[in-house]
Amino acid sequence: MIDTASIAHPDEDDAALAGIVDRLVAADEAIAEIEAAKICDLAAALRIANKRAAHQSAERRMRELEERSIATEIGLATRVNDRAVQNRMHAALELVDGYPATLDALAESRISARHAMVIVETGRALTDPDTRALYETVVLERALRDTAPRTRAFAEQVAQELHPRSITERHREAVKGRTVWMQRRGEGMSELGMIAPTVLAEGIWDRLTQQAHETKTAQVAAPEGDTEDDDAVYDQRNLDQIRADIAIDLLLTGGPSIDPTTGAISGPHGGLAAIQARASIVIPALTAAGLADRGAALDGATPVDADTARCLLAQAPSWERILTHPIHGHVLATDTYRRPANLDRYLAARDIHCRFPGCRRPARHCDRDHNRDWALGGTTDACNLACLCKRHHTLKTEKPWKPVQLRDGSIRWTSPLGKVSTDPPERYVIFRDEPDPPPGDPPF
């Protein structure tokens, strides 16, 4: 017999949960205020170190020793490694001197310390004060309403747009640092790592993941209980282990030794070897035409140099044109010579990633979901569809999370507790003010 008196009423649970959420928000706000005070103190400590060093000697070693001494003093008192304290002192002074609006937002509990450091770290390449101020204004607006990881992705795009050198120039230098390394980890195991162009590394990872999924599907799983066949071979590997085994085979032999999808020795064209890497890359029209070197974007976020983008464009079996709004840069429409699943293509171009607040799962790995369910009269068109990853699609289906798509493509989510959060559509272009040309210069 069930004791119904011991079961809390749903309304009481909701009230308790709402109180928990409110207290967590208040705690985060208090932490942000304290973090701002800590940053100001760390910056002040570094200023004292610099002042002392200036009085003693201009020698770099002496300056560093003064910093180290003060950092160690703080580290001992707070039980933090002195190297970590020294790094925090430099980051704090950089924030205080270079990003005053960000520091104010942190002190007022409108952003977290993680948001603040994302802005500082991603903007380090922008040395011009006016450019850095523009960068801070644009990225801080995003940080006020989004998670730190999504703010970082956006900040990287803004920094890329405002950088005095093109992504193509910087990539030509950075690609010289590509390398492969091995480090022994003990127990007969080693770590093999690689630094490579991002678009190639993403392609490698995607192809390995596809092959691992195909292998997992093709292999026979061990039955439950005591019904195992003594002559059968069961695959007990998880996805990560299969990925690693396929990578080893590919590097050692040029292809998997055995292709479980065909049941035969792997060939150069069939089975797993036929799987190709996929990438979703947006290339500005002038870059595609060779008239500019503005970088492209992988999955709407990661910069890709212009040379690589044009090479991929030339070899692509199909591509589609994306039309963006001339003011805010949001996607208006897509077209393509081939029109398979045109609506899906449009949604992928518009959404870029899962449209649940805070999620960065690429659109190509997401479901196309009705905001208003088809069974409840929802229509199958762009104004009622959005990309949702499996995790958040399931959450929306199983729990009372309610999305409403607004006219500009934003999706307003209402949580089970009635909290509202809006996920706006991404934009592909960022505009900056240019000074008027001197009198007499041609307008173009």
Burial class (CB in 10 A: 0-12, 13-18, 19+), 342: middle
Q: Residue 268 region, left (φ>0) first, then alpha (ψ -120 to 50), else beta? A: alpha
- Could you state, in order of their start, the residue ranges of all structural domains in the chain? 22-165, 177-220+234-274, 317-423
CA–CA distance, 73 with 82 (Å, rounded to integer): 8
pLDDT above 90: residue 33: yes
- What pLDDT sits at residue 102? 97
Cα torsion at 411, 416, 421, 426 (round to 10°)? -40
CA–CA distance, 247 with 256 (Å, rounded to integer): 8
Question: If you ran DSSP here, which 8-state letter would residue 302 be given?
Answer: E
Task: Return the bridge partners of 355, or none.
Answer: none
* Interval 165-177: pLDDT, tens: 888 888 899 899 9
- What pLDDT sits at residue 326? 59
Cα torsion at 233, 236, 240, 242 (round to 10°)? 0
Q: Cβ neighbours of residue 300 under 8 Å, at least 6 residues apart?
A: 280, 282, 352, 353, 426, 428
Strands 385-388 vs 296-298: parallel, antiparallel or unpaired: unpaired
CA–CA distance, 279 with 409 (Å, rounded to integer): 24
* Interval 363-385: pLDDT, tens: 888 998 988 887 777 777 778 88
Of the candidate ranges 141-155, 216-230, 298-312, 401-415, the one whose mean pLDDT is the lowest:
216-230
Mean pLDDT of 300-304: 67
pLDDT above 50: residue 182: yes
- What pLDDT sits at residue 76? 86
Which strands, in side-by-side order, build the sheet including 411-414? 402-405, 411-414, 420-423
Name the token pair of 144.
């006020």
- What pLDDT sits at residue 265? 54
Query: Given pLDDT bands bounded at 50, 70 and 90, which one contains residue 9?
Result: low
* Interval 187-214: pLDDT, tens: 778 899 999 998 899 899 999 999 998 8
pLDDT above 90: residue 114: yes
Among 122, 121, 157, 158, smallest CA distance to 138 is for 158
Could you tell me where the DSSP H helices lie in 316-376?
A: 342-351
Q: Give me the chain's average pLDDT, please.
A: 81
Identify the residue with better confidence: 9 or 386: 386
Per DSSP (E only), the strands in 200-354 are: 258-259, 264-265, 281-282, 296-298, 302-304, 320-324, 331-336
CA–CA distance, 386 with 9 (Å, rounded to integer): 35
- What pLDDT sits at residue 342? 65
- What pLDDT sits at residue 43? 97
What's the angle, vertex CA 202, arms to CA 329 and CA 364, rounded to 5? 55
Identify the residue with better confidence: 1 or 283: 283
Token look-up 């974007």 returns 297
Q: How many residues are given for the chain?
A: 444
